[in-house]
Each structure stands twice: as structure tokens, then as C-alpha cells.
Structure 1
Amino acid sequence: MRTNLILAASLAIGMVAGVSSAEAKGCIKGAIVGGAAGSMAGHGKMGAAAGCAVGHHKANKKDKQQGGAQGQAQ
């Protein structure tokens, strides 16, 4: 079980590293992290869904902060 988890995590990290830009910003990375954490608690699908939502929210928040800083500099 532990070997499978390590293998899945390393594969997921490799996939995330290869993704430069996705339409659903933050969702893929959040879903992988949430799914891994959720699988340890026996709720992998719920963890992936929650991770996607949180990752997407954080990506949007980061974009808004960067956009506000650029608008003030002009």
C-alpha cells in the first residue's frame, strides 16, 4: 500500500511539473494533493474534489493580487 502511494505521488508530481498552463488553474495540482491526502483517510474522490476547489480559488486569488499590483504601477 505504501509503495503504491509513493508511486502514485511521484507520478502525479511528474505530471504537474509537465503542465505549464491549464484552463482550470490550480485545479490539477490541488486535486492531486487532495486526492493523495484523502486516500489516506479513505476518501480519495472527496479529497480530490476539495483540493481542486481550493487550488482553483488560490490561483484566482493570486491572479487578482498580481493584477492589482500591475494596475497600481501604471
Structure 2
Amino acid sequence: MKRAFTSLALAATLAFTYTAVQAEGCTKGAVVGGVAGHVAGDHGVAGAAAGCAIGHHEAKKKDKEASAAAGASESAGK
């Protein structure tokens, strides 16, 4: 029970301490990955690290697609 509370407290702390310095998508991915890793067999830290990497990758991909769509709409208006 103590481990579950510690993991939950860590996830809540990560969720509420998001700052602009952190990589976009990392905090959300770390929280989700940490919880999933904990549930899957006490691998919360590894799950948080993997979730951070995946979340950051997905956020960059989303930004790249949004930039491409904005560029396409600007060139179509000319």
C-alpha cells in the first residue's frame, strides 16, 4: 500500500510541476507511462522514462504536422 501511495504521489507531483523548461509532451507521457509501468509490474520509473520519450516524440510530430498544414494553407491563399 505504501508503494502505491508513493507512486501516486510521484505521479501527482510530476503532473503539477510542469514548467516551460520541460520538453513538450514529456510530463503527460511520464505520468501515463509511470502509472502503466507500475501497474504492469513495479516498473514505474522505466515506464515514466519511456512515456516521456514517446510523449515528446508525439508532440514534435503533432507540431510538425500543424506547421505543414499552416504552410500549405498560406501558399494556397496566394
Q: Percent identity?
A: 46
Normalised to the residue count of structure 1, the TM-score between the two structures is 0.75
Report the Cα distance in structure 1 between the residues aligned to 2:7 and 2:48, rounded to whole angstroms: 17
Normalised to the residue count of structure 2, the TM-score between the two structures is 0.71
Report the Cα distance in structure 2 between the residues aligned to 1:62 and 1:12, rounded to whole angstroms: 26
Which structure: larger Rg? Answer: 2
User: What is the total number of aligned residue pairs between the two structures?
Assistant: 72
Q: Once the 2 structures are TM-superposed, how far is the Cα of residue 12 of structure 1 from its aligned partner?
A: 5.1
Aligned to 2:60: 60
Deviations 1:5-50 (A, max 9, x none): 795388358617xx47554000111011101111122111110010
- Structure 2 residue 43 is matched with structure 1 residue 39: no
Does the C-alpha gap of structure 1 residues 44 and 10 become closer, same or farther in structure 2, counting only changes over 3 Å?
A: closer
* CA RMSD, Structure 1 to Structure 2 (Å): 2.6
Q: Give the ranges of 4+ consecutive aligned residues of structure 1 lying more than 6 Å apart after TM superposition.
A: none
Matching residue's letter, 1:35: G
User: Unaligned stretches of 5+ in structure 1?
Assistant: none
